[in-house]
Amino acid sequence: MTAKGQETRQRIVAAAAQLMFERGVADTTIEDVRTLAQVSNSQVYHYFADKTALVRAVIEYQTDAVIEPQEQLFARLDTLDGLREWRNFAVARQRELNCRGGCPIASLTSQLAEHDEAARLQLSHSFARWSAGLRSGLAAMHAAGRLHPDADPEALALSLLASLQGGMLITQLNRDTRPLEVALDSTLAYIESLTVP
Amino acid sequence: MTAKGQETRQRIVAAAAQLMFERGVADTTIEDVRTLAQVSNSQVYHYFADKTALVRAVIEYQTDAVIEPQEQLFARLDTLDGLREWRNFAVARQRELNCRGGCPIASLTSQLAEHDEAARLQLSHSFARWSAGLRSGLAAMHAAGRLHPDADPEALALSLLASLQGGMLITQLNRDTRPLEVALDSTLAYIESLTVP
C-alpha cells in the first residue's frame, strides 16, 4: 500500500471509529463513514469488503488508541509509584473527557460480543494485550522479591483491569471520577499489602 | 390498574427487556415488542406513550431482576463468609449463562448513557441502589468493630461493584468465569486484610 493509500485507509477507519463510538455500530452506515471521511464509495470498498471488515479495523484502531498511550507507563509498573502514575493517568483521562463515553473497547464489547463471534475473539485479544501490559511490571516486582512469593502477578493484572473497567462504567454513569478512583485505590492498596518491605 | 392490566403491562415490559438485551435498544421496535408479548398496538400505547417510556420501564425491570435475587445475600455481607457467598452467587450466575450476555444494566448503560440523559440518571440510581445493598453489610461489620476504624464501607462497596462489573465484562469476552473470580477474590482479600481479629 502506498503512503497515500495508507493515509486514506486510516482516515476511513478513524471516521468509522468516531461514528461507531458516538452513535453505535448498528447506527453507523458505510455511507455515513464515507461522508465523514470525505472519500468515494469505491475508495471505501477498495480497502474494506464490507461493514464487517470495517468493524474489525475499528476494533484494532480503538485497541491501539486505548493501549498505546499507556505503554510508557506499563514499563514502570514494577513500583508502587509507577502503579500510582498509571492510576492517575486513567483518572485524568476520564476527567479530560468529563467522564463521557466510557471505554471504547468496553462499548464495542457490549455491542458485538453476542452477535459477532470473530469480534468477540478479537476484543478478547485486546483485553489480553492490555492485561499483559499491566502484568509485565507486576511480574518484575515479583521476580525482584518485592511482592510476596504467593502473589500472582497475572491475577493482580486482571484485578487492576477489572477495577479500571468497572470503575469507568460507574464513573460514566455518575459523571464523577470518584468511583474509578475508589476502585483503583482499593486494588492498589491490596497490591501494597502484598509488598515485601 | 386491574390485576389483568398489571399482568399485561408486565408481559410487555418483559418482552421489551428480552429483545433490548438480545438485539439492543436501537434494534428493538414497538412492533417487535407487541409481537413477542402477543398484545395489540392499542394495548402497548395504553401503557406506554412511546419507546422512551418503554425504555424507562425496562431499566426498572432489569434493575429489579439483577438486584432482587441478591437482596437476601446483602443482609449477610457483615461477615467474610457472607461476602464469599455473594461472590459465589455472582460466579455461579455467569456459569449458568455460559458467560453470555454480560450484565443487563451495564449493557443498557453503554447503549443509553450518552444519548438519553434521563436514562443515564435512572441507571445511575440503579447502581446507587446496588452499591447501597453491598454497603449495608460492610457498614454493620465496621460498626461492630470487625473492620479497621479507617476502612470506608462505602468505598469498599463501590470497589466490590466495580470488580464485579469489570470482571463480568472480561468474563463475557473470554467465555470463562476466571476473570470475574480473580477480580472479586482480590477485593475480598483486600477487605479481609482490613478485618480486626
Q: Is residue A151 pLDDT above 90, yes or no?
A: yes
Q: Could you tell me if residue B108 is inside a domain? A: yes
Whether A99 maps to a domain, the answer reads yes
If DSSP codes are grouped into helix, strand and coil, which group holds residue A91?
A: helix
Contact across the interface for B162 and A174, Cβ inside 8 Å? no
The CATH number for B147's domain is 1.10.357.10
Say yes or no: B100 and B77 in one domain: yes
Residue B103 Rama label (left phi>0; alpha psi -120 to 50; beta): beta
Q: In Å, how far is A7's CA from the nearest CA of chain B? A: 30
Mark whether B36 and B114 lie in a shared domain: no
pLDDT band at A1 (very low <50, low <70, confident <90, very high): confident
**Residue range A140-161: mean pLDDT, rounded:** 97
The 10s digit of each residue's pLDDT in B97-110 is 999 999 999 999 99
Same domain (yes/no): B125, B156? yes
- How far apart are the CA of A2 and the nearest CA of chain B, in angstroms? 35
- Whether residue B83 sits in one domain with residue B42: no
User: What's the gap between Cα A175 and its chain centre?
Assistant: 19
Q: Which of A127, A182, A193, A194 to mutate to test the interface with B (most CBs of B within 10 A)?
A: A182
Domains in chain A, number = 2
User: Could you tell me if A43 and A67 lie in one domain?
Assistant: no
B162/A179 Cβ within 8 A? yes
Q: Choose the mutation target among A66, A173, A194 for the interface with B, i.e. most B CBs under 10 Å.
A: A173
Do B174 and A124 make contact, defined as CB atoms within 8 angstroms?
yes
CA distance B142 to A121: 43
- Same domain for A67 and A125, yes or no, is yes
With H, G, I as helix, E, B as strand and everything else as coil, classify residue A1: coil
pLDDT digits 0-9 by tens, B147-181: 999 999 999 999 999 999 999 999 999 999 999 99
**B53 in a domain, yes or no?**
no
pLDDT at A40: 94
Give the model's pLDDT for residue A124: 98
Give the pLDDT score at A197: 84
pLDDT for position A185: 98
How far apart, in whole angstroms, are the C-alpha atoms of residue B160 and residue B135?
9
Residue pair A106/A94 in contact (Cβ under 8 Å)? The answer is: no
Q: Does the distance separating the beta carbons of A163 and B183 come in below 8 Å? A: yes
Do B71 and B41 share a structural domain? no
ipTM: 0.95
What is the reported pLDDT for A28? 94
If asked whether residues A94 and A145 sit together in one domain, one would say yes
Q: What does chain A come to in residues?
A: 197
Is B7 part of a structural domain of the chain?
yes
Instruction: Tell whether A57 is covered by a domain.
Output: no
Identify all chain A residues contacting B129, using CB atoms and an 8 Å cutoff: none
Question: Are B163 and A183 within 8 A, CB to CB?
Answer: yes
Helices B117-143 and A153-174 cross at an angle (nearest 10°) of 130
Same domain, B104 and B40: no
Whole-number pLDDT of residue B94: 98
A92 and A31 housed in the same domain: no
Report the CATH number at residue A10: 1.10.10.60
Question: Which pLDDT value is given to residue B130?
Answer: 98
Look at chain B and count its residues: 197
Q: Considering the domain boundaries, does residue A54 fall inside one?
A: no
Residue position matching grid coordinates 485524568: A92
Residue B127 sits in which domain range?
Answer: 62-193
The pLDDT of residue B49 is above 90: yes
Residues A189 and A134 occupy one common structural domain: yes
* Residues A91, A29 share a domain: no
What's the pLDDT tens digit per position in A31-63? Answer: 999 999 999 999 999 999 999 999 999 999 999
B54 in any annotated domain: no
